[in-house]
Amino acid sequence: MEGNSIEEDSKVETNEQKEKNIEDDINVEEINFMEKILEKDASDELKCLDFERQMFLDCVFSDGLMICAKGVSYEKVIINLFKVYLNPANLILILNCDEYEENYLTKLLNSPLVRAASTNSNEREKIYLSGGIQFISTQVLVLDLLKNKIPTELITGIFVLRAHQVIESCQEAFALRLYRQKNKTGFIKAFTNSAEAFTFGYGHVEKVMRNLFVRELFLWPRFHAVIQRSLKTYEPVSVEFHVPLSSKLAQIQTNILDIMNFIVKELKRINPTVDLEEVTVENCVTKRFQKILQTQLDSIWHQLNAKTKLLITDLKILRSLMFSAIYSDSVTFYSTLKNYRGAEYAMHNSGWTLLDAAERIFKFSKERVFNNQDEFEPEPNAKWRAVSEILRIEIPADIKDVISDERNEFDKQKPIKILILCNDARTCYQLNQYLTQGAEKTLFWTALKNEVKVKKLSKSYKSFNIHESGIVKNPVEVNNPDFKHKPSTSGKAVRNEKISLKFNDTSRKRKHTNDETNESKTDDNNKVMVNDENEEEEEYIKDTYLLTMTQRIDGNESFSAADFDLTKAENVTFEVCDEYNEKNPSLNATAILSSMQKPTVFIQTFKSDRNRMSSLDQTLQDMSPDYIILYNINITAIRQIEIFEARHQRHVRRRLKVYVIMHAKTVEEQSFLTALRREKQAFELLIETKRTMVVPEYQDGKTDVEIEDQLDDEEEEDTRNAGGQEKALKKEKSKVIVDSREFRSELPCLIHKRGLDVIPAMITIGDYILTPDICVERKSISDLIGSLQSGRLYNQCFQMTRHYSMAILLIEFDQNKSFHLQGRYMLSRDSDTMNMEIVQKIQLLTIHFPKLRLVWSPSPYATAQLFEELKLNREEPNLEEIMQTGTDETMQELAVITDRYNTNIHDFLLKLPGITPKNIHQVMKKGKNLKNLLKMSDIDLVELLGNIKDARLLHNILHKAHEANKQDQKTIKGRKFLKK
C-alpha cells in the first residue's frame, strides 16, 4: 500500500513538473515573440530605446496604469503593443484618443485592420465582428454596450489614453465597468503623462486605478535609472545664453512681484480661516496656479467677500502682466498696461493701481517706449539680439570649426537646417517679423496696430519710409534697400559653453517636473494680454514659419552657411519661403526642405500645450535639424530632444547642437525651476503611495466581487419575516430610460453605479423617465439660464406636465462649486439685474405650471441617490410607450432645432426685431452667418424674410445706432434697492 501511494505521488509530481515545463515553454515562446517585435521595430526609422523596451515588457504581460514624465513619451510602447495584437482574431478598442493622435497612429501602423468608428450603428456592428484595432469615442462605446450592439465577450482588450482624467463619474469609467461586467478575460492598459494630476485630492491614484480595474502601477520619472542610462551616453551638445534683462524691465519685474506679494499677504490677512497655503508668489508664476485657485476656492466662492474676489482677480491680472513684460515687446506691454490706468478700471479693482510700485511700473513701461525727448525709441526684446547673434555668428562659426576638423566628414552641398522653438503662435509671428523686417520696423508697426500715439521719431526710426499705414500683412511686401538692421543695446548675452541638456541630476538645482495637463489647453505663463487684434493680422499669425538665410556682399549672394563672412554678419538676411507660407500653407515641410538649396530657419511652437503624443518628436524626425534654438525654455521639448538624439546614436562630433536662450534670475527661470520641483515631488509621492497602498485581488474586476461591490447590488434581507413565512420573490432590476443626448453628462454613469439599469433612447419629452408617471428634465446652471432666456424651458415644461402626472425640473449644480444660485459668480456678470430676472422667471414658471416640481441637487451624486429613492416600490417604465409619447408636430420641430442648429445662435436671432418663428429657419439656412447678414441690403432682406415690415425692422436694428429710453433708465435705477 505504501509503495502504491509513493508511486501515485511520484506520478502527480511528474505531471505537475510537465505542466510547469509546458508553462515555461509557453512563456519562453511569448518572450521570443516579443523580442522579435522589438527587433523588427529596431529596424524602423525610430529606434526603440532600452527604457522603452522595458516599458513595453512591463505592459505586455500585465494590465496596469503607466505614469510617465512629460517628454518621456509612451508612443513607442503603444505602437509595439498594437503590433502584437494586430490580428483579425483580436478586437482592440482605443479610448480617449483625439483626432490628431488617431491619424498619427493610423499612419504609423499602415494596416487595413486599424479603423475609425463609423457614425452608422449598423456599420459599426459589422466592423466590430471583423476585428482589428478600433478608435472609438467613449460616448458611442457606452451606447453600443448598453444596446448590446458590440460583442462584449469578444473584446480582446481596451487601451485608455490620458488615464488621469478617468474619475468615477466620467464616461471612460462607465464604459470600462460595462466591459468588465460581461468580459472577465480581456485586458485594460492605461497610460498618462501627467504625474501632477495625481497630487490633488486624497488617494487619487488609488481611485483612478479602481475606476480602470487595474492592479499594477508603473512609474517612469525622468530620474528613473533605466532612462538615465539610456539617455546619458548620447546627450546633445548644449549652449546656454543667459540674457540679462534691461534695467527698466528688471525694475518692472521687481515692482510687479512686490505688488503680488502684498496682495497674497492681504488675502491671507482678510481670510484667516481659509486654507491658502498653496497661494504663494512662487506658485503664482507656475501654470498650475489656476488649478490651485479652483481647488481651494471654488467650493467657498460664494462665502468670500467682495474685497477677496477683487484681490484674486487682480492677482491673475498681475500674473499676466508679469509674463507679458518678459515675453512680449515693450510696445505691446505699454499698450496693454494703459488699459489698467483708466478711471473705469480704477473703480473696479482692489486699489493696486494706486500703490507707489504701480506708479513706477507705469513710468518704466513708458520710458521703454519713449526717450527723454518724448521721441519714439522703443526698447527691443532682450532675446532678439541673442537670436540674431546665434544665427549670424555662432552657427556659421561652428560650421567652419566642423569643416576645419579633418576627422569630420561634412557635406558642404547639404543645406543647414535650423529649428527655432517658441511657446505660442504669437511669439513665432513676432520673431518672424523681427528676422525679416528688423527691430525698428517690427516695433513701429506694432505701435500702429495697438494705437500708440507717436508724436516724434528718434533718429534710428527716420532711416526707413513710414508711408505704410497699417499692420504688416506679409513681410515680403515690404522691401526697402535703405533699411539696415541695427543690433539691440539691451545687453550682451553671456555664453556658457558645453552645458548639458540634462537637467535631472539631483545634485543640481534643476529638477524634473511635468508640464501642465489637458486642463489648461492654453499656456498661461506665456499668455500676452493684448488689445483686440484686427482680423487681417490674425490670418497671418500661424504656429509655423519657414525662412531662408543668405548673405549679400558687394552684390554677391552666398547660399552656404560655411561660406558666410563672420566679419560682416549684419549682411545676413532672412526671407520668407513663399512656397510654404503663402501658396501651400498645408504643404508638408519635409518635402520643401528636401528641395531647398539655401540654409533654412524653421520657426514653430512646442505644441506641447495640445497634450498630444509626438507633436514635437514628429517634427524632429521629419526635419532632422542640424541646430535647435530654444527661444523659450520648455521641459517637454528638452526631453524630446534628448530622446531624439539618443535614437540616432551619433558620434559626439556630429551630434545635434542646442542653443537655450533664457533670462537668468528672472520669473522665467523661477517658473522653470518650480515646475521641475513640483514634478519631482509628484513622483516621490507616487513612489511612496505605490509602496504603501493595498490593492485587493478582485480590483481587476475579473471576479464578480468587485463589480457587485461597485454597483451596490446587494440586497439586505428583511429580518421581520415571521416564522414559516415564505420569502418574497426577487424583484426585477430597476431601470431608467435616458435620453441618448444625456450621455454627455456624468449622471447616467452614476445611476448605473447605484445598480439601476440604464436604457438609452431618443425620447422627445424629458431627459430621464423613472416610472410611467415620473419624467425629469435636467438642467445645469448655464443651461437653465439659456433655456429661461430663450423660452425653450417653457415648452419643455408644458410638454412634461401635459403627458406625465409628476413632472420634475431638476436643477443640478457642479459638485466642485458652491451650492448657491444667487450671486454673480454662479449666474452672469453682464447685468446687475440678471440675478433678479432669473429668479423672477423661475417664479413665473412655477405659477404657470403648479404641478411642476422643482428639485435642487448639489451634485450628480445626490441626483443619482434621489432617482433611486424615487423609484422605490414603483412601476417600471415601458420603453415602447415612452417612445410614442410626445411625437406631435411641436416636439418634432423642437427636436429639429436642437439637432440641426446651434441653440444659442437660434435664441439670439429670435430676439432681433423682424425675425419670427416663421422665418427663423429661412434666416439660419440662407443667412449663413452674422457677417453675411450685415452685408445684405433692404431688397435682400425682403426676399429672405418674406415681407417689407420685418425686413425694415431687422435692417434698422443692424445698421442704426440706438439709445436706451430715458424713462426706462430711470425705472432700472429705481429698482436697484431690490438687490438688497
10-residue mean pLDDT profile of the chain (980 residues): values are 48 51 50 55 62 91 92 89 90 89 86 83 86 90 91 92 88 92 92 89 87 94 93 90 91 92 89 81 77 75 82 88 90 90 81 90 92 89 90 85 67 79 89 89 88 83 52 35 36 36 33 37 37 48 82 62 60 73 50 69 74 68 88 90 89 86 88 90 94 89 66 47 47 84 90 91 90 91 85 87 88 81 46 67 87 91 92 88 68 56 70 77 77 82 83 82 56 39
Assign 742 to helix, strand or coil.
Answer: helix
CA-nearest of 240, 665, 239, 249 to 488 is 249
pLDDT, residue 523, reads 38
Residue 678: which of 428, 510, 546, 811 has the closest Cα?
Answer: 510
Chain centroid to Cα 323, Å, comes to 20
Q: Residue 214's pLDDT is what? A: 93
> How far is CA 644 from each of CA 72, 217, 239, rounded to the nearest angstrom?
11, 27, 18
pTM (2 d.p.): 0.75
Residue with cell 487684434: 533
d(CA 349, CA 736): 50
Q: Which string of DSSP letters, residue by residue, matches 785-834? A: HHHHHHTHHHHHHHHHHHH-SEEEEEEE--TTS-S--SSTTTS-SS-TTH
Strand, coil or helix: what is 964? coil
Whole-number Å distance between alpha carbons of 667 and 253: 8
Backbone angles phi, psi at 229, to 5 degrees: -70, -35
What is the grid cell recorded at 804?
Answer: 406625465
What's the confidence (pLDDT) of residue 210? 92
Q: What's the pLDDT score for residue 17?
A: 58
The kind and range of the H/E element at 115 are strand 114-116
| pLDDT computed for residue 528 by the predictor | 36
Cα-Cα end-to-end distance for the chain: 99
Residue 564 has what pLDDT? 64
What span, in angstroms and rounded, lies between the C-alpha atoms of 817 and 297?
9
Q: Residue 501: what residue type?
A: L
Q: Are 770 and 875 in contact (CB under 8 A)?
A: no
CA 743, CA 242: separation in Å to the nearest integer?
52
The SS3 call for residue 925 is: helix
One-letter amino acid of 223: F
pLDDT of residue 330: 92
689 with 206: CB under 8 angstroms? yes
Closest CA to 643 of 504, 498, 813, 455: 504
What's residue 40's pLDDT?
54
Work out whether the CA dihedral 897, 900, 903, 906 comes out positive or negative: negative
pLDDT at 44 (0 to 100): 47
Angle at 577 between CA 574 and CA 578, to 5 degrees: 135
Q: How many CB atoms lie within 10 A of CB 588?
A: 11
